[in-house]
Structure 1
């Protein structure tokens, strides 16, 4: 389960600490629709490694002066493109290093 990048393993405080942002920033990404954390039985937000990667990338774009809506859209599109590349690899049976050489 902890090998799964989508497993909601991190509390809001720990997630914010890991990527160097505030809890308010993580909540704002939820409001913007970029990430939707799972909720624990007690209602606490739980974030996955994948969500933290998306949040960190959004922070980079915001630090470069990008508006929130644009940063979230870019991160979403980058994530969709990466997912499409993974699916192509699976369908072709190629190893990731073979794809990198061809791409």
Structure 2
């Protein structure tokens, strides 16, 4: 289960051994915000399997010559990509719901998806306002 991989179970010495690193390196990465282990009692670090995977990824990038600041930025961008994937999934569900609603109402399937992620219904022949980067999708009704 994905949730089990997030469960903080390893003390720093075990996490360091699993990641093939020195415990002091893990403390440094924690201070830099590259890996944020849970705290037991507010003091003792507890690492999850996911945290150990991140440590291995950091180690691999570092061996490839990427600086710690570069690694931080890569991880930040990977998190943004993951969040955007979730948002795309949400928007896909909205588009499906709009399309289903239009079909149920006997209307054509016309809508616009704006650059900010908003999805709006459009009347037949209507165009998006302004110079937006909107995408308009239209599929004529079957006769």
- TM-score by length of structure 1 reads 0.72
Higher RCO, 1 vs 2 (CA within 8 Å, ≥6 residues apart): 1
Q: Which residue is 2:73 aligned to? A: 73
Aligned residues between the structures: 93
Bigger mean CA deviation after superposition, 13-22 or 37-46: 37-46
> Deviation digits for residues 33-87 of structure 1, max 9, x if unmatched?
1122111237211011222222211111111111111112112322332354356
More helix by share: 1
Structure 2: segments with no counterpart, 5+ residues:
94-143
TM-score (norm 2): 0.54
What are the residue-to-residue correspondences of 1:10-89 with 2, within 5 Å?
10-41=10-41, 43-85=43-85, 88=88
Q: Highest Rg: 1 or 2? A: 2
The two structures, once aligned, show a CA RMSD in angstroms of: 2.5
- The gaps in structure 1 that reach 5 residues or longer are 94-103
1 or 2, which has the higher strand percentage? Answer: 2
